[in-house]
């Protein structure tokens, strides 16, 4: 029996056990690979004026249109299965009689249970935003404070599959109690719901052992923006804490660097490649935020790159890390399947060029590394494929060989080093 098959079998057994146990915290059997889907926030923000902005306002029309496009444009077939409503969906006050949350009556006239049915009938899963504190971050709608059990049951009744819980207006709360308690209330409903927490972002010194016990994924950095600089800041934040990130990320509990901003207005093609490659290296959720009707063909091709998605969704679930930083060049490495018959792993390797090369700021640069120096020690070598063009087989490289790549400014090259078997 091969090492690869044994690893897969062990993971399947563990996953089954997680499903069977009564989940008090994280282990609800969900998010065994990083969640994939779509969320409106960075692209559509908190636009609520549907008269002035009928295509861009947060409304059931936007989410039905996006559900249709996720299906018709082939995204759901590749794993983009969660359609998540962010902030600004609710009335500013709870129902006076029941105390329940109420969707905005003008923008969601059919109600969220009807919208959930539409999403489910499209073959998608339904996600919804909430806040742990008094009010939501952007819209100022009612938060969960004092209503944990009621809100969790309301979400279950609406058919919610994924809950994003923010942390605004909660400075007076003990978040180390509140986030686990809301998660327990979700579990008590009996409906499986992925639990996405903003918990560590609001803590000066996050307790990641506690966080990963109670959350399926967690935001650890600032909100992403539609810019190269924002992507780089999040990469830097991850790098500063990468030993903690690698230790605690994995199947059922993921580090979340926020949404993919590919397909909007400010990210160049090179920077779009960079964000996608890096999120795959980090084992990050792939949650798009864009207008799927206007995504350009070359960006759609990136978002639907099966080989990069396969890296992101790798069954081992081991987050990557920065292994080389020299001047304006970085090398990031992630351990992935398959494992060869000697027990050596394969790797996804991203070579990043940050620009700022004084002699020629707009010139591509050539980088050369010895595989051994990256920790690639398989004596039988590695077959190398370009993950942006998988048909490009670059040949067999052994541990002592030098690998050379040419990177565009503020760009990335991304390769799979497949460990070859001993014959």
Sorted by sequence, the CB contacts under 8 Å of residue 360 that are 6+ apart come out as none
Q: How far, in Å, are 7, 285, 335, 382, 418 from residue 315 at the CA level? A: 9, 14, 11, 20, 15
Active site residue 86: no
**From CA 270, how far away is CA 291, in angstroms rounded?**
20
Q: Is the peptide bond before 122 cis (omega within 30 degrees of 0)?
A: no
CA quadruple 368, 364, 305, 226: dihedral positive or negative?
A: positive
Q: How far, in Å, are 21, 157, 387 from residue 413 at the CA level? A: 42, 46, 8
Q: Which of 166, 256, 258, 314 is catalytic?
A: 166
Burial of 269 (0-12, 13-18, 19+ CB in 10 A): middle
**From CA 398, how far away is CA 342, in angstroms rounded?**
15
Active site residue 223: yes
Q: Which of 24, 68, 176, 223 is catalytic?
A: 223
Q: Residues with catalytic annotation?
A: 166, 223
């Amino acid at each position: 029996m091969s090492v690869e098959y044994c690893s897969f079998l062990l993971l399947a057994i563990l996953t089954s056990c997680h499903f069977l146990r009564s989940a008090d915290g994280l282990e609800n059997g969900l998010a065994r690979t990083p969640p994939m889907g779509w969320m409106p926030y960075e692209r559509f923000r908190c636009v609520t004026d549907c008269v002035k902005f009928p295509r861009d306002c947060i409304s059931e029309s936007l989410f039905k249109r996006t559900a249709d496009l996720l299906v018709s444009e082939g995204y759901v077939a590749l794993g983009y299965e969660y359609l998540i409503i962010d902030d600004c969906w609710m009335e500013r006050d709870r129902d006076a009689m029941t105390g329940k949350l109420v969707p905005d009556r003008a923008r969601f006239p059919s109600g969220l249970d009807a919208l959930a049915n539409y999403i489910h009938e499209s073959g998608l899963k339904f996600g919804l935003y909430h806040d742990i504190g008094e009010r939501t971050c952007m819209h100022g709608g009612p938060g969960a404070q004092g209503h944990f059990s009621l809100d969790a049951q309301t979400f279950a009744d609406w058919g919610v599959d994924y809950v994003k819980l923010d942390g605004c207006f909660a400075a007076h709360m003990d978040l180390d109690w509140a986030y686990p308690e809301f998660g327990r209330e979700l579990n008590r409903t009996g409906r499986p719901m992925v639990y996405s927490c903003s918990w560590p972002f609001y803590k000066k010194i996050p307790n990641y052992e506690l966080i990963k016990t109670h959350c399926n994924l967690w935001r650890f950095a600032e909100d992403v923006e539609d810019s190269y600089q924002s992507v780089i800041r999040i990469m830097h934040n991850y790098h500063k804490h990468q030993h903690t990130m690698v230790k605690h990320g994995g199947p059922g509990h993921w580090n979340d660097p926020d949404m993919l901003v590919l397909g909007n207005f400010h990210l160049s093609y090179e920077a779009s490649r960079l964000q996608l490659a890096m999120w795959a290296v980090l084992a990050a959720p792939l949650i798009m935020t864009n207008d799927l009707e206007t995504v350009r063909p070359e960006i759609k091709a990136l978002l639907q790159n099966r080989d990069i998605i396969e890296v992101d969704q790798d069954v081992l679930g081991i987050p990557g890390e920065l292994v080389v930083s020299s001047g304006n060049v970085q090398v990031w490495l992630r351990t992935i399947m398959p494992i060869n018959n000697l027990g050596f792993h394969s790797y996804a390797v991203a070579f990043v060029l940050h620009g700022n090369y004084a002699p020629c700021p707009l010139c591509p640069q050539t980088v050369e590394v010895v595989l051994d120096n990256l920790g690639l020690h398989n004596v039988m070598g590695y077959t190398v494929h370009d993950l942006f063009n998988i048909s490009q087989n670059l040949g067999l490289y052994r541990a002592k060989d030098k690998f050379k790549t040419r990177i565009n400014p503020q760009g990335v090259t991304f390769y799979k080093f497949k460990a070859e078997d001993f014959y």
